[in-house]
Amino acid sequence: MRWKRWLEDLRRSFIVESIRSDERSAGGILLGHDMNWAFWNGIGGGQADFDEPSGNLSPRDRAMLYEYLNQKAHVDELIHAFDKFAQPVNVARGATIVDIGCGPFTFGPALANVLGNGVSFRYFGVDRAASMRALGKEHEAKYEANARLSVVPTRRVQSQRKAKR
């Protein structure tokens, strides 16, 4: 299954354009760094602490770089996996989904892409990195504006639970 238009538009307009139009980017240089540095140091191969600055990169820069470099492949994998369900709508309709280590809300829109309009589910993204959660929240507004989906990955995330006494 292909990416739907709203998801492609979101990636192009919000993620790709933001990185490429940044004054630190030029040609193969992303936010002031070559691809190798950006991948291994900027996002730690996907395993960075995205709330820590790195060099000239703010936590938000690092989360944006993650989206630019890694998120597309994750969305592709998820769409492929969801598509293997015989009846993905029946599986997901009305479901409550908790995505632990959600990053910038990757799973929710990938599932929405497969389900299409009119199928609602609740999506809770949990991530320790405030920068990732903040990006997810920014995207959330765009799902409604661009996709007009009733499927809206919602809700807030908590980085840590209070210890039970």
Q: How many whole angstroms separate alpha carbon 146 and alpha carbon 117?
A: 12
Chain mean position to CA 4? 15
Nearer to ligand SAM, 46 or 116 (CB): 46
113 binds ligand SAM (CB under 6 A): no
Q: How many whole angstroms separate alpha carbon 122 and alpha carbon 127?
A: 16
In the complex, the smallest distance separating the C-beta of residue 24 from ligand SAM, rounded to whole angstroms, is 22
**List 7, 10, 69, 102, residue binding ligand SAM (CB under 6 A):** 102
# chain residues binding ligand SAM, by CB under 6 A: 13
Q: Report the candidate in 9, 143, 11 with the shortest Cα–Cα distance to residue 75.
A: 11
Nearer to ligand SAM, 72 or 122 (CB): 72
Q: How many whole angstroms separate alpha carbon 138 and alpha carbon 125?
A: 13
In the complex, the smallest distance separating the C-beta of residue 102 from ligand SAM, rounded to whole angstroms, is 5
Q: How many whole angstroms separate alpha carbon 140 and alpha carbon 106?
A: 11
Nearer to ligand SAM, 61 or 127 (CB): 127
8 Å CB contact between 50 and 63? yes
Greatest C-alpha distance within the chain: 54
72 binds ligand SAM (CB under 6 A): no
Site string for ligand SAM, 24-43 (x = CB under 6 A): --------------------
Q: How many whole angstroms separate alpha carbon 70 and alpha carbon 64?
A: 10
Q: How many whole angstroms separate alpha carbon 17 and alpha carbon 152?
A: 23
60 binds ligand SAM (CB under 6 A): no
Nearer to ligand SAM, 30 or 79 (CB): 79
Nearer to ligand SAM, 106 or 113 (CB): 106
| Residues of the shown chain interacting with ligand SAM in the complex, contacts defined by CB under 6 A | 46, 50, 71, 74, 101-103, 106, 126-129, 132
